[in-house]
Structure 1
């Protein structure tokens, strides 16, 4: 909006407000004064005189004298009412109108001229975003967060790992070992092995290698995206801007820092066109609506995105009794379990089965499925990380 348009709108609105106030003042009744009360009293006196005359308590001559005396007072009071009240009312209205015209419009313009800045961006929003960006920039380091969580790294374990890894140069063997540590929840070891993989490859390390390094750090810090993890995410995206795991974790970083707008920017393409088999795609699709709302964006996933129930499924379930719904869920879980046993499936299918069994309180079966899934996805840290999350959140043994 240009300055000219802004001032035209502002002055126009002020004029409308002033007009409404003036109209209200002009229509308001003029307050009554003492003369009105006197007139009422005198009229009552005249009525009383007529009653006394009719009852015979006073003579005709006395009644005439009283009428004459009260009549004079009525005339005087009426004159006072017409002159005093009318003049005062008109004067008061004129004064109020003048004050509104002289103060409301020019005064409002003057105040905004001193305090406002037409054409300026939303300084409050910019300041707030700057504060959030600064908080992200100065957030705790990885080591600081581990200490804050009461889980500092084991120095003895670090020394042992350093000796073991010093002479290991087989990258594929190291990747297998990193996956094993990841699967068993030994995140400090997983991080050190992944560091060795990057050190051996140097500049030749791929975007996936750096994304997995970031993922290992994130899981070691209980899902906190530290500055060290961020650096590996930057390196990953520098190698491959389309690395979905890196983009997912960058979104998590901005989400943790309160920059919901940037989190939404990174997650929207993954929610709409991400690989359905990727373990983070379902997580993003479940949360993207809330992230958009926090970012102040009106958004809904395109129709047909995701693998959730259809509107017909929801409507049918709503009409079921609790027992019927329970039977339906049991049937769906059985079908999914049979399909995974015979045909296999992606990590999201295994994740869904684990969580569904836990909801049904069939924890021994859920544990068995989780253990089987770990074997199927051995050596694939990103998939294992989401399976481990399902195990932790459902009370299984990871």
Structure 2
């Protein structure tokens, strides 16, 4: 109520000032010709004084008087015409002032009612962050997202292909432990636009493989789940993305969808940090690069960032160091042969090993940034914050190193 009282007073004051200016404009004072008459009469008196002092000859004084008299007659005619002319009507001016007041007050209310948010309180940064966390915790599930997703247009399918897919469904349903059959079913269901069924088949494939899968398998599962909901990133898709980024934090597709999720829950600032880094990683022409390029400017606007175009694949962003290499080929090969639990233990072991080495022998800014990013993906926020604080002390006198470390902390959501 206080807000409306204050806004009403401000609007009325503005309308009153405009009306006052309009009403006062009715009386414009004496015409300019009246001032000219005063000047010409003074000039006549000055001619007499100059003649008395001998400055002017009689003949010159007569010519000057004649010229001034002619000007006086002209000015007098103009003054009389101005005095008898029609002035601005009082009633019309008052009506215009009333209409103006109504337009200002009514227009202000209508604009705010359509563009504003009546009753919406001011939100500080921490309140916005808390609201985003609450929104993320209470957002719809995968099943709810699929139920509310808009119906996708029917695809024209050759009868022969449709028959083959039906046979594949039947076979995959009978052979529930056939990983290859589930993989083929996921692929062909996706071709037909049945993304929910494709996601289910992909999840079955991952289950059957018992952890003998790659990061891209979880990334494909997340993408199918997101496409099944019409672009909404559900908690189930988030879990698949988190696993993808845990195995490979440089997976471009997963990073794109992670940023999309952050934008959906109300954290465009984090989304921009993730997307800007992913865009700079490239490579140019990658599907996620094209998707980010078409949306990042809007995300930057929502995040309050002045967007500067980023060249895909350049890794030459202001305040960012070179890309930190991911795990070696031996590490990846070893991870593919492990179960999910063993793989998680291995990843945490690698993180612990890097942490111990940095604590005892130190390391490069990129290694510190890698450790902060890994802890962020593992959601060990408290420890990541402690590592970030320690890195700031270690590289306090090296601005370039601090920029690299801060960039990693921003991507992990530690600087919000």
Instruction: State whether TM-score is above 0.5.
Output: no
Between structures 1 and 2, the one with greater helix share? 1
Choose 1 or 2 for highest CA Rg.
1
TM-score norm. by structure 2 comes to 0.39
Question: Whose relative contact order is higher, 1 or 2, with alpha carbons under 8 Å and at least 6 apart?
Answer: 1
